[in-house]
Amino acid sequence: MKVLVAVKRVVDYNVKVRVKSDNTAVDIANVKMSMNPFDEIAIEEAVRLKEKGIATEIIAVSCGVTQCQETLRTAMAIGADRAILVETTVELQPLAVAKLLKAVMDKEQPGLVILGKQAIDDDCNQTGQMLAALADLPQVTCASKIEVVDGKGNITREIDGGSETLNVTLPAVMTADLRLNEPRYVTLPNIMKAKKKPMEVIKAEDLGVDLTPRIKTLKVSEPPKRSAGIKVPDVATLVDKLKNEAKVI
């Protein structure tokens, strides 16, 4: 079974995000970029499926600028066999990414597609669902456990009341939740091996996909700074401040 995993290049989660002075976007100049953490979990799960003998090939796919090749090399260092970069300088929104991934799927015909449930930069949580709809495939979101038996997937996902297990026929689209696994540490030998693995670069315009943004960002601003907390001597003072200063009661 061939497994396709989508990965995204985002601002590293340890970096304190800054907003541009003109309030148009997040400033990514000279900022450390890395693979979206949920996509790391997706790659790790694909590698574990291969180690169990279920997956035969893992293909990492990313859509975006040339620098996304670094993210794909990381995916191959974790265990992907090859990579595909759909290169474009256009600002990609979830629907455009889903259309590009659908075009790659049509070419590769994977038995399972795994994505992170959301990206930590826009937090949209939409691409996997849109991809499943475009490809007309079964989907399971926010998966916390995957089992593949006899060409079917038994996938457990977390819900408000606990968890549920869904049985889906493959091929299918799945998005990975935080508790699906813990990604392995990437070793130096694997980083070196990843440099020799094949990477295909496709121009987005060659796929015939409409990438026109459908959402316009009006303004990006930092959240207001919170004032320091204070200690109050008794409940009466607390109630007074909540009523007369905070005006929440």
DSSP 156-201: EEEETTEEEEEEEESSEEEEE-GGG--PPPPPHHHHHHHTTS-EEE
- Work out the number of other CB atoms within 10 angstroms of the CB of residue 14: 7
pLDDT-wise least confident of 48-57, 79-88, 153-162? 153-162
pLDDT at 35 over 90: yes
pLDDT at residue 177 in the model: 93
pLDDT at residue 64 in the model: 92
Give the DSSP letter of residue 248. -
Cβ neighbours for 220, distance < 8 A, ≥ 6 positions apart:
19, 20, 23, 24, 25, 26
Would you report the helix, strand and coil content of the chain in percent, each value rounded to 5? 30, 30, 40
Mean pLDDT of 31-43: 94
pLDDT digits (tens, 9 = 90+) for 79-109: 999 999 999 988 899 999 999 999 999 999 9
pLDDT-wise least confident of 57-66, 169-178, 240-249? 240-249
Helix (H) or strand (E) holding 75: helix 68-78
Cβ neighbours for 83, distance < 8 A, ≥ 6 positions apart:
59, 60, 61, 62, 69, 72, 73, 75, 76, 197, 198, 199, 200
Is the bond preceding 94 in cis, omega lying within 30 degrees of 0?
no
pLDDT at residue 224 in the model: 84
pLDDT at residue 91 in the model: 87
Mean pLDDT of 161-189: 92
* Confidence label for 143 from pLDDT (cuts 50, 70 and 90): very high
pLDDT at residue 228 in the model: 84
pLDDT at 43 over 90: yes
Q: What is the mean pLDDT of the chain?
A: 92
pLDDT at 61 over 90: yes
Mean pLDDT of 2-18: 92
pLDDT digits (tens, 9 = 90+) for 203-242: 998 998 889 888 888 898 888 888 888 899 999 999 998 9
The domain 2-220 having CATH identifier 3.20.20.150: the answer here is: no
- Domains of the chain, by residue range, sit at 2-220
pLDDT at 162 over 90: no
% of the chain surpassing 90 pLDDT:
70
